[in-house]
Structure 1
């Protein structure tokens, strides 16, 4: 029975990764048709200042200067997008069961994704995306590893 559950979770993880790749690299993202050089593109589209984009969206929300859907999609969407990693990664990679290893791994993974998005012009590098993505993954990781969840799982 455990093997069936692990196999099913493995299929779910593969499907999640497939959807994540589509959302991050193929869904109407980036500016591949631009005539800017790669350096100019990265310079014009990237954010390397922590909380700069988040502050902009929060300010726009209070000033009502930006559609709320854009704000929710960019802030909440970035948190939600990597939440499943908080369960899947430690489940399939046992070495990632510590908070430190998990956090460092998520930072490396998301830094790689952000860099790849900028290099392929399928998005931009935004340090705030990294912050929100790691927060979402770490939140679920912490909840999943908490005693409350372990007690609920062991009762069944």
Structure 2
């Protein structure tokens, strides 16, 4: 491994740790009022889950156009969920060579995102929202596309 590649690996490793810490804080340590302790787990899951694809996304898009909510809410939610996992599309294939293949990367991200959504739900630190899952997956795939681009690969040589 060349000197340049060692420096890149150190920089990527440090930035990945920082990224994971920020993600941990955003997903599990931010108190967003989901701690409905007066509900049973079944009730909590029932009231805080969205299993209908594009329900939340379409609500936010509609709100952008009709002004039915403060525009910051849909913009932050849609863009936040879309870009939150974009770095994962770069970090995972960088550190795990097997994930250079699109199908293995996709399967890995589906598993990771599903586990994170379930953990958020059972710890009552969030909800299980299929739309968050969809946006997070699209973001990760965008990152993977950046990773696979000729520009990124040229920079790493």
| TM category, shorter | over 0.9
2:38 corresponds to 1:32: no
Structure 1 unaligned blocks of 5 or more: none
Cα-to-partner distance string for 1:102-146 (whole Å, 9 max, x where unaligned): 111111101111101110000100000010001011012112202
Q: Please name the residue that 2:109 is paired with.
A: 106
2:156 corresponds to 1:145: no
Cα-to-partner distance string for 1:13-70 (whole Å, 9 max, x where unaligned): 0110010000001112242243000110010010001111101111111110111111
Counterpart CA distance in 2 for 1:12 and 1:149 is 17
Q: Please name the residue that 1:53 is paired with.
A: 56
Q: Please name the residue that 1:81 is paired with.
A: 84
Change beyond 3 A, Cα 1:51–1:33: closer
The alignment's TM-score, normalised by the length of structure 1, stands at 0.93
Q: Residue 17 of structure 1 is aligned with which of 17, 20, 31? A: 20
Q: How many residue pairs end up in the alignment?
A: 154
Q: Please name the residue that 1:124 is paired with.
A: 127
Structure 2 unaligned blocks of 5 or more: none
Give the SS at the match of 1:118.
helix
Counterpart CA distance in 1 for 2:36 and 2:55 is 27
Counterpart CA distance in 2 for 1:30 and 1:102 is 33
Counterpart CA distance in 2 for 1:30 and 1:95 is 39
CA RMSD of aligned residues (A): 1.4
